[in-house]
């Protein structure tokens, strides 16, 4: 299989080879494709998890288990978490 890359990507592949990170252009492209596949698989799994969580939340609401949403309470909670992370990081 032959592929054509634009100038910027060609230079990037060549730099990865020159740096010694990869022995060939084939290895650079194969690694990039493996990473892309893993990212897509992770995204699909995350979307499935999100769909399940939303479905469970809707089921809870249907059972009357929901609570009114307090925007200010949520905002305060998020700001407190952000502040905690900022101090820790």
> What's the rounded Cα separation, in Å, for the pair 17 and 31?
13
Which pTM does this prediction carry? 0.59
Give the list of residues 6+ apart from residue 24 with CB closer than 8 angstroms, or none: 17
| Contact assessment for residue 3 and residue 29, using Cβ atoms and an 8 Å cutoff | yes
Phi-psi region of 2 (alpha: psi -120 to 50; beta: other; left: phi over 0): beta
What is the C-alpha separation between 8 and 12, in angstroms, rounded? 6
d(CA 47, CA 25) in angstroms, rounded, equals 33
The tens digit of pLDDT for each residue in 27-69 reads: 999 999 999 999 999 999 999 999 999 999 999 999 999 888 8
């Amino acid at each position: 299989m032959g592929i054509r890359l634009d100038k910027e990507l060609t230079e990037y592949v060549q730099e990865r080879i020159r740096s010694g990170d990869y022995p060939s252009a084939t290895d650079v492209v194969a690694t990039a494709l493996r990473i892309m596949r893993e990212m897509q698989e992770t995204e699909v799994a995350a979307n499935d998890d999100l769909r399940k969580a939303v479905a469970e939340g809707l089921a809870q609401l249907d059972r009357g288990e929901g609570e009114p949403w307090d925007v200010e309470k949520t905002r305060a909670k998020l700001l407190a978490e952000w502040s905690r992370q900022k101090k820790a990081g």
